[in-house]
């Protein structure tokens, strides 16, 4: 499990190694809320290749922006990332200040 301190994240995806394969899950880490509104660059980007899905657990303030197909999660105190290599599932959980 990976534990990270950040203020917000943007969850997105990009194509995998071949067009018919699995996708790469990308998590951009930011030090402020709503980074998409200010075109901010993440202080770190994590990429997880060949994933089937991303699960969200215990995170309640989540927004899906349809113009960009990204999930934005604000007010994060701690973020935990768990990777199930066998099932190709990424689980994000954490604590938020609401």
Query: Average pLDDT of 43-49?
Result: 97
Task: Compute the CA torsion angle 95, 73, 30, 3 (nearest 10 deg).
Answer: 40
- Max Cα-Cα span within the chain: 40
Task: List the domain boundaries for the chain.
Answer: 2-96
User: What's the pLDDT score for residue 46?
Assistant: 97
How are strands ordered across the β-sheet holding 8-14?
44-51, 23-30, 8-14, 70-73, 62-65
Query: How many C-beta neighbours within 10 Å does residue 96 have?
Result: 17
Mean pLDDT of 8-27: 91
Res. 76 pLDDT band, cuts 50 70 90 = very high
The pLDDT value given to residue 66: 84
* pLDDT exceeds 90 at position 16: no
pLDDT higher than 90, residue 20: no
The alpha carbon torsion through 69, 81, 61, 72 (nearest 10 deg) reads -30
């Amino acid at each position: 499990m990976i534990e990270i301190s950040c203020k917000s994240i943007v969850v997105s995806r990009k194509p995998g190694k071949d067009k018919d394969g699995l996708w790469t899950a990308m998590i951009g880490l930011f030090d402020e809320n709503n980074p998409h509104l200010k075109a901010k660059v993440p202080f770190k980007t994590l990429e997880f290749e060949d994933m089937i899905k991303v699960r969200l657990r215990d995170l309640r303030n989540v927004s899906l922006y349809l113009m960009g197909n990204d999930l934005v999660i604000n007010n994060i105190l701690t973020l935990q990332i768990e990777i199930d290599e066998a099932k190709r599932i990424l689980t994000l959980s954490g604590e938020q200040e609401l």
